Amino acid sequence: MTVSLLKKNNVSLHGFGSKVMIFSHGYGCSKSMWRLIAPSFFDTHKVVLLDLVGSGNSDTTAYDFDKYSTLDAYADDIIELCESQNWSSIVFVGHSVSSMIGVLFAKKRPDLISELIMIGPSPCYINKESYEGGFSESDIHELLDSMDSNYLGWSSFITPVIMNNPDRPELTEELKNSFCRTEPAIAKHFGSVTFLSDNRDDLKYVKTKSLIIQSEIDSIAPVYVGNYISEQITNAQFKLIDTVGHCPHLSHPEKTIEAMKIFLFS
């Protein structure tokens, strides 16, 4: 079973520490997106890099559209992996949608996780009543319709918005290529699950020591959302970093690493 789980999520192990640190990527991305961050923790942690099922070089034959119709299935995959490897006291680092996968992980198995780090998290992208997720419901449905009708064209449009570092076009190109490598049917399905999810109610169950890392300007997860999460999680710290874009681990890795290390080692 262990070998198949490692293959299923394209797991690779790095580092020399005894404490496990799992990195989980955002929508349309893969474990390669952590290459500028992860090595900074090789001396202190056993670093686990993985691809969510359906993304990167994961086993796409394991992608079941019914099973992965909620984010819970991804959290269950990570829990199953941790159990198979006898990992505990884990530091979980999630970007974007994987932040909420981390929230579900912490809710389901608080005994396995000691710290939760979320980069650009959002529990709900749609504005609802007094909550400001950043998008109207019609915005999200237009986004999903565009994705469904022309996924490659949508990818070319949305990736500059996500990255928001126009002076570094190579970063946008990398993100676009990552989006385009995902099987369109899976990408569309995962996109719908991601952008229509509402995990606000799950936040109050998280007692794990948590860090929210938020860019000052992020068109996908605005500052309001980061503050909201920090208010809902009992043991959370909110760190606003002087960066632009939804992927500071790629655009500003040194600032992201600094925030993580202060949280973990101070």
- Catalytic residue numbers read 96, 218, 246
DSSP string, 5-43: HHHHTT-EEE-S-SEEEEEE--TT--GGGGTTTGGGGTT
Cβ proximity of 209 and 116 under 8 Å: yes
CB proximity list for 142: less than 8 A, separation 6 or greater: none
CA 100 to chain centre: 7
Q: Radius of gyration of the chain from Cα atoms?
A: 17
Cβ proximity of 120 and 26 under 8 Å: yes
Of 55, 87, 48, residue with least CA distance to 74: 55
